[in-house]
Amino acid sequence: MGEAAPLFGVAGAEPPPGAQAEWFAGAGGARLRAALIPAAGTPRGSVVVSPGRTEPIEKYFEMAARLASRGFVVVVHDWRGQGLSARVLADRSLGHADGYAEFLEDYADLLAAFEARLPKPWLAIGHSMGGCLTLLVLAHGENRFAGALLSAPMLGLLTGQAPRPVARALAGLFNALGRGGQAVFGPPAVEAPFEGNILTHDPVRYARNLALVEAAPDLALGLPTWGWLDFAFSATRELQSGPGVPRVTIPVVVLAAGEDALVDNAALRRVAARLPHGRFELVPAARHELFQETDEIQSQVWRAFDELAGVQERLAVSPS
């Protein structure tokens, strides 16, 4: 077990019973944070939860508690560059990445640090950027998982008013010119009011997530850099056309939010079709953050997870 790390909480987002955070060493010795949440009762397996860009462990307390109540041991982690994990730039407000190799190594180090405490079978859940990186991990040969659920995964980007080829070219150019650490063009990073937000229809969960960052400002993350955008285009390109995805043989459920304004649902459908046991499912009324949505919308998300987990439970006890 690693050195203890802090966890924060606010009303409505308290750490689940028994949750403990610790530091572990990632690529290049980077100090990274993860939290282990024990199962309620006899464990039936484990779930590794990988958040999206900007999202700290604390944002997933509600999800972790629901997984624990289903009998799963849960690990949630802060990717490098966000949460309390080591930030990549001196300006910790900027979300930066230098390719995806370090992310993949960090994920392997996470599994190494917690493997002995994670009963099989293992399932993976990844949201947005975390969904993209989870699938990359699987495409690069990680074979210890029995199934994966990807929530609005970043398998293709929506680039707003800028045509995608232009945005991709600019990201590559700024990176090549040594300006990858600069923020992308955009307004200052400020928290938007609930009205008009593109993340969730649930005002209570939205306010709770803002309160978390207000209570623990070190969890905050602002605009992405050109380097991060270049990483995102490189990662999505590999998943859309690289050789690894067709070699992922476990069941993978790709959940798309019908009202998503950040990721390209057409790309999600295409990548899901490349998976031998991939299943694309649209959650029609949802915005991007499926696990932060209203209870009614989340019911479809949890039904998809329970179906996946039920299949894996049956497989786990079937004779070989």
Residue-wise pLDDT for 99-147, tens only, equals 999 999 999 999 999 999 999 999 999 999 999 999 999 999 999 999 9
pLDDT of residue 11: 87
Residue 109's contacts (CB-CB under 8 Å, 6 or more residues apart) are: 24, 25, 26, 27, 32
For residue 316, pLDDT over 60 is answered with: no
For residue 185, pLDDT over 80 is answered with: no
Mean pLDDT of 270-292: 98
The string of pLDDT tens digits covering residues 232-269 is 999 999 999 999 999 999 999 999 999 999 999 999 99
**What are the CA-CA distances from residue 298 to residues 47, 151, 263, 304, 309 (Å)?**
18, 11, 19, 10, 16
pLDDT of residue 12: 84
pLDDT band at 32 (very low <50, low <70, confident <90, very high): very high
Which CATH architecture does the domain made up of 4-317 adopt?
Answer: 3-Layer(aba) Sandwich (3.40)
**174: phi then psi, degrees, rounded to nearest 5:** -60, -40
Is residue 91 classed as helix, strand or coil in its secondary structure? coil
Task: Name the least confident of 161-170, 268-277, 286-295.
Answer: 161-170
pLDDT of residue 312: 67
**153: phi then psi, degrees, rounded to nearest 5:** -70, 150
Residue 206's contacts (CB-CB under 8 Å, 6 or more residues apart) are: 194, 197, 199, 200, 292
pLDDT of residue 313: 67
Domain segments of the chain as ranges: 4-317
pLDDT of residue 318: 43
For residue 44, pLDDT over 50 is answered with: yes
Mean pLDDT of 284-290: 97
- Give the mean pLDDT of the chain: 94
pLDDT band at 191 (very low <50, low <70, confident <90, very high): low
**What are the CA-CA distances from residue 276 to residues 247, 253, 265, 308, 309 (Å)?**
8, 11, 19, 15, 18
pLDDT band at 320 (very low <50, low <70, confident <90, very high): very low
Mean pLDDT of 152-156: 98
